[in-house]
């Protein structure tokens, strides 16, 4: 096992810059997820770490060793791809053993490691089958087994679950996390699914347009997003953003929403004069909005019962802004029905409207 350092890495294809000054430190044995929308550069960064692409600038270190010019086969990494990349003409046992045979390992050592990996993944009965005879989940286990037998310093996963159905994805998420807890191998996992990132990672790297927006634990990103992008990307359903401003009325600081409702708040730490007339986005997660007898007037647009909770999309009065609400109880609501919303300001987030950056008020 080994740590991984990415220092000032840039990648361009012609005049198009894909990655810009990326800096990431991954500790030995850590599980780090790269997450972001399609085209943000996360898979490109993974390919740079693997040595499948040349970096344009910067440095990558694995185990303290600079690997910029080291070929992929000598980086002591193992990669699991989205499409499994199994050899169709080989049995499972041969797919898993192939890399070891290329390294001229002894037959006894190969057999032992393949057997051990198959036992860990529960695929002992599949060793004599061909990839075409396997389900998607079984193929993914074989792909992971092929990586495990190599006993690498670093595992690289490139959206390995995106071809699986929803139920199997949940099961495989748990299996990969359990596998990491047992093997303790440094792991970099790429996904565009923020639920995967939240549930699996020790730390998450949020990327957008080739730039790292924020790095932190799942709960750090959820509770203290650095900007509007991170706030709305992390969490499902996404955080609500409401147009608002701070006003000072008779010495009291209030939060006035675009719909005209003013909400009293406790005295800001920076003083009333520091926030007066500040144009902001008020970020409130759906689970931090309740129905109440007195609150922000709105009307129901859509009701989505999920069983464990009821998700309600409401439109605020006097504005086109909407807010998603997650209710633990089964609320008998209908589209068009008037409601009052209580925003839990103690759980709310404040962002500068122009820059989108988080404000500590």
Instruction: Give DSSP secondary structure letters for 215-260.
Output: EE-HHHHHHS-SBHHHHHHSSSSPPEEEEEEEEEETTEEEEEETTS
Mean pLDDT of the chain: 91
Find the helix or strand (DSSP H, E) in which 250 lies. none
> Reduced to 3 states, what is the DSSP secondary structure of residue 317?
coil
> In angstroms, rounded to a whole number, what is the distance separating the alpha carbons of residues 321 and 121?
48
- The pLDDT of residue 68: 95
The pLDDT, as a whole number, for residue 62 is 96
Q: Which domains does the chain have, with CATH numbers?
A: 4-231 (3.40.50.300), 240-352 (2.40.50.140)
**Which of 26, 14, 23, 79 shows the shortest CA–CA distance to 52?**
79
Query: Alpha-carbon distance 243 to 183, whole Å?
Result: 47
Predicted TM-score of the model (pTM) = 0.90
Maximum separation of any 2 CA atoms in the chain, in Å: 84
pLDDT > 60? residue 158: yes
Strands 186-191 and 31-35: parallel
CA distances from 219 to 82, 197, 203, 225, 275 (A): 27, 11, 9, 10, 27
Q: Which of 99-108, 267-276, 292-301, 337-346 has the weakest average pLDDT?
A: 267-276
In angstroms, the CA 4 to CA 187 distance is 10
Ramachandran region of residue 318, left (φ > 0), alpha (ψ -120 to 50) or beta? left
Q: 244 and 256 in contact (C-beta within 8 Å)?
A: yes
pLDDT at 338 over 80: yes
Q: Is the pLDDT of residue 270 over 80?
A: no
Per-residue pLDDT tens digits for 28-61: 999 999 999 999 999 999 999 999 999 999 999 9
């Amino acid at each position: 096992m080994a740590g991984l350092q990415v220092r000032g890495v840039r990648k361009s294809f012609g005049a198009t810059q894909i990655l810009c000054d990326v800096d990431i430190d991954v500790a030995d044995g850590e599980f780090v997820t790269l997450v972001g929308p399609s085209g943000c550069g996360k898979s490109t960064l993974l390919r740079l770490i693997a040595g499948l692409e040349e970096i344009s600038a910067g440095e990558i270190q694995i185990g303290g060793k600079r690997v910029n010019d080291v070929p992929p086969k000598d980086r002591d990494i193992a990669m699991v791809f989205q499409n499994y990349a199994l050899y169709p003409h080989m049995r499972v046992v041969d797919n898993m053993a192939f890399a070891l045979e290329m390294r001229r390992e002894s037959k006894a050592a190969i057999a032992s490691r393949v057997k051990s990996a198959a036992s860990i993944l529960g695929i002992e009965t599949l060793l004599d089958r061909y990839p075409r005879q396997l389900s998607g989940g079984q193929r993914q286990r074989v792909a992971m087994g092929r990586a495990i037998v190599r006993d690498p310093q670093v595992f690289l996963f490139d959206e390995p679950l995106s071809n699986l159905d929803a139920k199997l994805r949940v099961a495989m998420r748990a299996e990969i996390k359990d596998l990491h807890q047992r093997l303790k191998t440094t792991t970099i996992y790429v996904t565009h699914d923020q639920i995967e990132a939240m549930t699996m990672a020790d730390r998450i790297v949020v990327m957008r347009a080739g730039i790292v927006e924020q790095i932190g634990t799942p709960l750090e990103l959820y509770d203290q997003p650095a900007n509007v992008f991170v706030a709305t990307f992390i969490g499902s359903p996404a955080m609500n953003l409401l147009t608002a401003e701070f006003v000072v009325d008779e010495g009291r600081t209030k939060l006035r929403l675009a719909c005209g409702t003013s909400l009293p708040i406790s005295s800001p730490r920076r003083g009333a004069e520091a926030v007066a007339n500040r144009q902001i986005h008020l970020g409130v997660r759906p689970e931090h909005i309740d129905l109440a007898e007195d609150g922000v007037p709105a009307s129901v647009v859509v009701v989505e019962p999920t069983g464990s909770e009821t998700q309600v999309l409401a439109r605020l009065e006097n504005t086109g802004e909407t807010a998603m609400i997650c209710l633990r109880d089964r609320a008998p609501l209908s589209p068009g029905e008037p409601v009052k919303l209580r925003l839990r300001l103690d759980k709310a987030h404040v962002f500068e409207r122009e820059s989108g950056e988080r404000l500590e008020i």
